[in-house]
Chains A and B, each alone.
Chain A
Amino acid sequence: MKMALSLTNVCKRFGGVTALDGVSFDVAHGELLGLVGPNGAGKSVLVNVVSGFYPLTTGSILVDGRDVTYAPPHHFGRLGIARTFQNIRLFKRMSVLENVLVAFPRHVRSPFGSILRWNRRAEIDHALALLSQMRLVEKADQSAGSLAYGEARRLEIARALATEPKLLLLDEPAAGMNDRETDELRADISDLRSMLDAIVLIEHNVEFLRGLSDRLVVLDYGRMIADGVPDIVLKIPAVVEAYLGAAEDA
């Protein structure tokens, strides 16, 4: 069976530093995978690898059965991988609405053809639908730079959804949110599952993932130390030691 995403023996070195060391896991269709690990475990490097920004040192990446190991970064977006950023990166000078409109695949694929082929009303309605899904529709004409922190995070997700992705990579979406915002976000992500083929959720905070994710992959120092159902994984001694110990310090 083809997997939504399949990593085989992925290694990434920067000079002498090994950031990822033989990471292999699959994400099945319909799955919500949680990727956890202490700070510096290589989670963000992994996101950058899977979204095509860091070329691999060795190993391979398959998306829906297609080998994309050597594809240029923009191909990853076109193949249906969308991502958000740990340090929110919106187009701040554009409006909220424009941040969503810019990501529509039809125009992304042929930027210059878009002068002729576009439908203002239909596109705005589609964008408003996505914004309303992320509870931002009233803010549509505001500048993206003026959004509050939690709203900005949600707009990043809306923008990612606009690319019509199959696989969504969320890089620490709950970072910096208060409890109420975190709960709302958890509900939002839950709602997204029906729209997407698979979700990979990178999180520092295990509690956020408990009950939300189907499966957990645990990284520590660039190595994969566990892969399985959350309740079981979180009882493995190595995970408790490497991850939970570090989390308590933080």
Chain B
Amino acid sequence: MIQDYLFFTGINVLLAWSVYIILMSGSLSFANGGFMALGAYATGYLTTTYGLDLWLVIPPVALLAALFGALVSLPALRTRGVYLILVTIGISICMGVGIESSEALGGVKGMGGLVGTEPWHVFVLVGVVGLFLLIVSYTPLQRILDAVREDEYVARSLGINTTYVKVVSFGAGAALAATSGALYAHYLIFIRPEHFNVMMSLFMVLYVILGGVNNLWGAALGATIMTLAPEFIRGMAEWRPTVFGLIIILLLLVRPQGLLAFRTRTARAGTRVAKWVQGKLVPGGAAS
């Protein structure tokens, strides 16, 4: 049982990060439930119908999801704000209905016989993705993403190809959501379209909002709290959506940045400032 909790926590952390990766470049994606479904069903179809190895099919499916994500983001990124929310919700719903209508994928009845994921697979992936995001947060890439998110117009004037940055981050988020979907499906054994409905997309976004949108820890914290808390607090499991919803409502009223609001500096001058000033007693020259 405890293994199950940890597994689902890991999956939800990965999904929250898939939203966070897209959010890093300034887009709020409600389409990640759809990308997750793509990963789950595409790998499920290949492993059950052709008997292929799960680890063999995940990379190409993740790549496919990345391309698909990048493709849908191209038109979606022409819209902004609430329009982007609408477009990504639309993508999520279209994916769901598409799967329900497909007999090859089991339609509304679902798809079974999916095995192969062990919980530790997910823990390893959480570690790898977390480490990657942590490293990125100290590189120039983090600054560029922050710039695109904070003021796209200025970012472009500096020479940043903002469309490219956003499309790639959309693709990366889609690939991560699809990979998580594949692992999730092959742990559950049996999946149905409603595992990946709009609600799933909404929840992923709300994990990130709960934890904080400015750093990778916020997304992980939000997903962990919302997966584990209901299991360990008596009576909360039954009221999970209500409690979750109320927490989000209250949080947005008192602390709209989420629980963890800090942003890590990508670089600090620190003592180098003093060295600089000592090296040249009067900095700039013009002030003298």
**Chain A positions near chain B (C-beta within 8 angstroms):** 51-53, 72-78, 82-83, 85, 89, 91-95, 97-98, 101-105, 107-109, 111-112, 114-115, 118, 120, 123-125, 127-128, 132-135, 137-138, 140-141, 159, 163, 184, 187-188, 191
Asked if B157 and A73 make an inter-chain contact with CB atoms under 8 angstroms apart, the answer reads: yes
Asked if A78 and B267 make an inter-chain contact with CB atoms under 8 angstroms apart, the answer reads: no
CA distance A107 to B16 in the complex (A): 27
- Which listed residue, A53, A94, A108, A141, touches B158 by the CB 8 Å rule? A108
Q: Which of B40-67 contact A (CB under 8 A)?
A: none
B159 at the interface (CB under 8 A from A): yes
Asked if A97 and B269 make an inter-chain contact with CB atoms under 8 angstroms apart, the answer reads: yes
Asked if A93 and B150 make an inter-chain contact with CB atoms under 8 angstroms apart, the answer reads: yes
Asked if A133 and B284 make an inter-chain contact with CB atoms under 8 angstroms apart, the answer reads: yes
Asked if B141 and A132 make an inter-chain contact with CB atoms under 8 angstroms apart, the answer reads: no
Min CB distance A188 to B, Å, is 5
| Residue of chain B at shortest CB distance from A127 | B269
Asked if A83 and B150 make an inter-chain contact with CB atoms under 8 angstroms apart, the answer reads: no
Q: A97-B269, A115-B135, A137-B284 are in contact. List 17 more A-B contacts (CB 8 A).
A: A53-B156, A91-B151, A93-B146, A93-B150, A103-B159, A104-B140, A108-B144, A114-B141, A128-B272, A132-B276, A132-B283, A137-B276, A138-B277, A138-B283, A184-B287, A191-B285, A191-B286
Min CB distance B67 to A, Å, is 16
Asked if B141 and A73 make an inter-chain contact with CB atoms under 8 angstroms apart, the answer reads: no
Min CB distance A115 to B, Å, is 5
Q: Which of B151-166 contact A (CB under 8 A)?
A: 151, 153-154, 156-162, 164-165
Residues of B in contact (CB 8 Å), total 42
Question: Given the complex, which residues of B lie within 8 Å of A191, measured CB to CB?
Answer: 285-286
B234 at the interface (CB under 8 A from A): no
Asked if A92 and B154 make an inter-chain contact with CB atoms under 8 angstroms apart, the answer reads: no
Asked if A102 and B144 make an inter-chain contact with CB atoms under 8 angstroms apart, the answer reads: yes
| Residue of chain B at shortest CB distance from A121 | B272
B255 at the interface (CB under 8 A from A): no
- Which listed residue, B135, B153, B277, touches A137 by the CB 8 Å rule? B277
- Which listed residue, A74, A77, A103, A114, touches B139 by the CB 8 Å rule? A114
| Residue of chain B at shortest CB distance from A125 | B272
B136 at the interface (CB under 8 A from A): yes
Question: Given the complex, which residues of B lie within 8 Å of A159, measured CB to CB?
Answer: 158
CA distance A188 to B136 in the complex (A): 36
Question: Given the complex, which residues of B lie within 8 Å of A123, measured CB to CB?
Answer: 140, 267
> A97-B268, A141-B273, A191-B286 are known contacts. Are A91 and B140 too (CB-CB below 8 A)?
no
- Which listed residue, B146, B157, B285, touches A83 by the CB 8 Å rule? B157
Q: Which of B261-288 contact A (CB under 8 A)?
A: 263, 265-270, 272-273, 276-277, 280, 283-287
| Residue of chain B at shortest CB distance from A92 | B150
CA distance A94 to B266 in the complex (A): 9
Min CB distance B272 to A, Å, is 6
| Residue of chain A at shortest CB distance from B269 | A140
Question: Given the complex, which residues of B lie within 8 Å of A52, measured CB to CB?
Answer: 156-157
Q: Mark B229-252, 1 if CB is under 8 A from A, else 0.
A: 000000000000000000000000
> A135-B286, A191-B285 are known contacts. Are A141 and B140 too (CB-CB below 8 A)?
no
Question: Given the complex, which residues of B lie within 8 Å of A115, measured CB to CB?
Answer: 135-136, 139-141
Asked if A91 and B139 make an inter-chain contact with CB atoms under 8 angstroms apart, the answer reads: no
Asked if A101 and B139 make an inter-chain contact with CB atoms under 8 angstroms apart, the answer reads: no
> A98-B266, A124-B267, A132-B276 are known contacts. Are A107 and B284 too (CB-CB below 8 A)?
no
Asked if A128 and B273 make an inter-chain contact with CB atoms under 8 angstroms apart, the answer reads: yes
Asked if A101 and B156 make an inter-chain contact with CB atoms under 8 angstroms apart, the answer reads: no
B143 at the interface (CB under 8 A from A): yes
Question: Given the complex, which residues of A lie within 8 Å of B146, measured CB to CB?
Answer: 91, 93-94, 102
